[in-house]
Amino acid sequence: MAPPLYRQIAADLRGQIHSGRLTPGVRLPSMRELQKQYTVSSLTARSALNLLRIEGLADTVPGRGTFVVTPSLAEAAA
């Protein structure tokens, strides 16, 4: 059984972050952009971004967007 769509989207973005395609400070696609790109609902797009925030890979700045965060020193040492 395939994982839920929001997890698939988060995995795609996570892969881009880990590969260096999306670097710290870069704005991630907006919810609207994710909806169009993946043909999903706003709830699915929001859940994907929320998962990346929970994992510590992204942070949202109200009115500006969601950005890739700089890895912490603990993560860099791991």
DSSP character at residue 27 = B
What separation, in Å, do the N-terminal and C-terminal C-alpha atoms of the chain show?
31
What is the value of pTM for the model shown? 0.88
Q: Where are the domains of the chain?
A: 5-70
Architecture of domain 5-70: Orthogonal Bundle (1.10)
Dmax (CA) of the chain: 37
Q: State the pLDDT at residue 70.
A: 85
pLDDT given for residue 76 in this prediction: 52
User: Are the C-beta atoms of 39 and 77 separated by less than 8 Å?
Assistant: no
- For the chain, 78 residues long, give each residue's pLDDT as a single digit of tens: 999 999 999 999 999 999 999 999 999 999 999 999 999 999 999 999 999 999 999 999 999 999 999 876 435 544
Instruction: Give Cα separations from 22 to 3, 4, 27, 37 (angstroms).
Output: 23, 23, 8, 16
Contact between 60 and 46 (Cβ < 8 Å): no
**What is the model's pLDDT at position 74?**
39
Predicted local confidence at residue 75, as pLDDT: 56
